[in-house]
Amino acid sequence: MITTGSWSRALRPRSLGLGVLVLAAAALAGVALGPARLPIPEVMAALFDSLPGVDTHHSLTARQLDILFELRLPRVALGACVGATLAVCGAAYQGVFRNPLVDPYLLGVAAGAGLGATIAFATAAVAAVPVAAFVGASAAVVLTYAIGNRFGDRAPTSLVLAGVAVASFLTAAQTYVQQRNSGDLRVVYSWILGRLGAGWDDVRLVLPYVVVSAIVILLHRRLLDVLAVGDPEAQSLGVPVARVRLLVVMAATLGTAAAVAVSGLIGFVGIIVPHTVRLLAGPSYRSTLPLSILFGAAFMVATDLAARTLIAPAELPIGVVTAFFGAPFFLALLRRRG
């Protein structure tokens, strides 16, 4: 019997199980821990009780239930959505551009979203922040893609360089808008540094986009493995390289923009998580992509827990925490490649 499992490093049930377990543990800690500590067995009982058709007994008070279902759970859910999306989009960008140092922020997506959001803040159209961030992010990627294709011989690296240039330009524009409207500086700063708001509205807003994005990316996992041998060879294997690249980039940008719109700028997740997952399960995108979703969600929930408990009752911006771990990780990665 010839099965892929016997000699290929495709996704193994064991890694998948580990991912589910880690995510469940992080989520449980995320809902139970905080300024008001909830007993974990009671939390589990209450969570099961909330499932339709399940009736369990728990002794949480009405106030504790409010904390659990209206404060902690939406925040954990949002963190999981954002973390999973940033991680899987990072892995997708890395595959499409054959560059392990790429993440959602390198193509100008974040800067574009930042500019869009800042303009929304400056014009006091705060309700339009998510939409403006999304428009800015998409515009940035279109700009990067157009410039990279036009001047760069269509080489993947030229796209990355174009992304850096576009990001710098958009950041400059964003700083200009920000300084002209110093009254809104504080709120922009807190958004730029990343935050996970509380409430189911944000989850509902982001969910459709991240689900679509993740599905499109996951469907291309085998083709991302083919792209690893280079464009001409992938082409000679019958793969429509340009179409695969465009579709995956569009999906990853949609996901990133949606995540940035609700959470602000949270960097390095798209680098840390996919690389850690590769160490665990090998380089194939057939395992990297699904595992990035699970571990990305778990990583973000755990990071958010750290952000709101380390200096409690104050909160650290979550982007600060991810950068604290992410920057050294990035340097280690650079060093290993060099």
Partner 1 sequence: MTLAGDRLSVTLDGREILNAVSFETAPGEWLGIIGPNGAGKTTLLRALLGQVVSTGKLTFQARDLHTIGRRERAKLMASVPQRPLLPPAMTVADYVLLGRTPHISYLGKETYADLSATREAMVALELTDHLQRPLSSLSGGEQQRAILARAISQDAPLLLLDEPTTALDIGHQQSVLGLVDMLRRERDLTVVSSLHDLTLAAQYCDRLLLLDRGAVAASGLPTDVLQAESIARIYGAEVRLLTEDGKVAGVVPQRLVTSPAMETPTPPSVSAP
Residues forming the site for partner 1 (CB under 8 A): 2-4, 7-9, 219-220, 222-223, 225-226, 228-230, 232-240, 278, 282-284
What is the residue type of 78? L
Q: Which is nearer to partner 1, 13 or 52 (CB)?
A: 13
State in angstroms the smallest separation of the CB of 166 from partner 1.
27
Q: Which is nearer to partner 1, 228 or 331 (CB)?
A: 228
What is the residue type of 180? R
Q: Which is nearer to partner 1, 7 or 183 (CB)?
A: 7
Inter-helix orientation angle 200-219/241-263, to 10°:
170
Asked if the bond preceding 208 is cis, omega within 30° of 0, the reply is: no
The answer to whether 266 touches 109, Cβ cutoff 8 Å, is no
Within a 10 A sphere around the Cβ of 229, how many other Cβ atoms?
A: 13
State in angstroms the smallest separation of the CB of 81 from partner 1.
24
154-170 b/e (C-beta count within 10 Å ≥ 16 → b): eebebbbbbbeebbeeb
State in angstroms the smallest separation of the CB of 89 from partner 1.
19
CA distance 1 to 327: 46
Q: Which is nearer to partner 1, 172 or 228 (CB)?
A: 228
State in angstroms the smallest separation of the CB of 182 from partner 1.
49
261-288 b/e (C-beta count within 10 Å ≥ 16 → b): bbbbbbbbbbbbbbbbbbebbbebbbbb
State in angstroms the smallest separation of the CB of 228 from partner 1.
4
State in angstroms the smallest separation of the CB of 241 from partner 1.
9
Q: Which is nearer to partner 1, 56 or 235 (CB)?
A: 235
Q: Which is nearer to partner 1, 4 or 56 (CB)?
A: 4
State in angstroms the smallest separation of the CB of 64 from partner 1.
46
Q: Which is nearer to partner 1, 9 or 150 (CB)?
A: 9
Give the sign of the dihedral formed by CA 104, CA 106, CA 110, CA 116: negative
Token couple for 254 = 């949609």
CA distance 122 to 116: 10
Within 72-193, residue ranges assigned H as helices are 73-96, 109-122, 129-151, 156-180, 185-192
State in angstroms the smallest separation of the CB of 225 from partner 1.
7
Q: Which is nearer to partner 1, 265 or 277 (CB)?
A: 277
Token couple for 79 = 């963190």
CA distance 110 to 107: 8
